[in-house]
Amino acid sequence: MEKVWFITGSSRGLGRSLTEAVLASGDKVAATARNISQLDGLVAKYGEQLLPVQLDVTDYSRVYDAVAEAVAHFGKIDVLVNNAGFGITGATEAFTDEQVRSQLETNLYAVIEVTRAVLPYMRKQRSGRIMQVSSIGGRMGTAGVSIYQAAKFGVSGFSESLAQEVKELGIFVTSVEPGGFRTDWAGDSMTYAPRIEGYDLVNSRADFFKGGSFVPVGDPDKAAKAMVDLANHAEPPVHLILGSEAIRMLANMEELREKEKQQWMAVSLSTDHTDNEGDFFNSEFTKSYLNR
């Protein structure tokens, strides 16, 4: 059955690859971009399959108008993809207040707001797919991208909680968590904090990105195909990792976390109240979290 997609950040990078893949599959797309003239070539090729929608995702009042515009045009939204975002590198203390705010406003708050704008329509139609483009950096921390990853951790956690809320409404939520892909994430889409002496690891990472040496293994066209297939899957995952680099990085981090957990287990368990000792899995608090 033909689907209607609402994709943010559709003019470049993964968003562009996904928009093209969705259109090629025969589905329709409300494609948002700050500069919709960048979509002219796709409009010429696909005509009424594509609705360009001007949107800066940090203009939260405009978000609701853009969603309403898409529904008025196509009659529904079946798949929401929150893809708009950008990277930033630097030492945590070096970021300006504006850099911190812009990261959170674009990469986290906008994801939440666009989702909130679309949910009433999906709730009424009792169906929908939501894909939040997070990052492997939403599952593990890396020096030099702390503010970016703070936002992406938020997206991954938000998506996991939301998935439990809306499943009974026929809505499925997936946090898409790519590793490095050959987009302009480390190119034109990357910004930098002012350089501070002493942060050798962070500064070398910034130099690595700036020097153009970052050549990831991920193919955005293949990621787009995986996401198109995901929209048709009967039981989509809550977390979908994309790329072999991301798989290896996460496996290594999980091993380190498990080792740390075991090393400090005695301290963790020592903090229970004596009234509940030995009764962990029967507590109402635990039942509420395990009952998914």
Specify the pLDDT at position 86. 85
Residues 229 and 223: their CA atoms lie apart, in Å, by 10
Q: Looking at per-residue confidence, does 101 or 139 come out higher?
A: 101
Q: Looking at per-residue confidence, does 96 or 290 come out higher?
A: 96
Kindly name the residue from 134, 146, 159, 175 that is annotated as catalytic. Answer: 134
Q: Nearest 5 degrees, angle CA 269-CA 272-CA 273?
A: 155
Kindly name the residue from 11, 148, 156, 175 that is annotated as catalytic. Answer: 148
How many C-beta atoms surround the C-beta of residue 14 within 10 A? 28
pLDDT at 19 over 50: yes
Residues 115 and 158: their CA atoms lie apart, in Å, by 10
Specify the pLDDT at position 186. 47
Q: Looking at per-residue confidence, does 31 or 222 come out higher?
A: 31
- For the chain, domains (ranges, CATH) are 4-242 (3.40.50.720)
Task: Kindly indicate the confidence band of residue 80, based on its pLDDT and cuts at 50, 70 and 90.
Answer: very high
What average pLDDT does the structure give for the chain?
89
Core vs surface per residue 157-173: b (16+ CB within 10 A) or e: ebbeebbeebeeeebbb
**For residues 97-111, average pLDDT:** 95
- Is residue 168 within 8 A of residue 128, CB to CB? The reply is no
Active site residue 148: yes
- Per residue in 253-274, pLDDT tens? 899 999 999 999 999 998 888 7
Kindly name the residue from 10, 28, 146, 152 that is annotated as catalytic. Answer: 152
Q: Which helix (DSSP H) or strand (DSSP E) does residue 260 occupy?
A: helix 244-263
Active site residue 134: yes
**For residues 48-66, average pLDDT:** 96
Specify the pLDDT at position 282. 62
Residues 57 and 63: their CA atoms lie apart, in Å, by 6
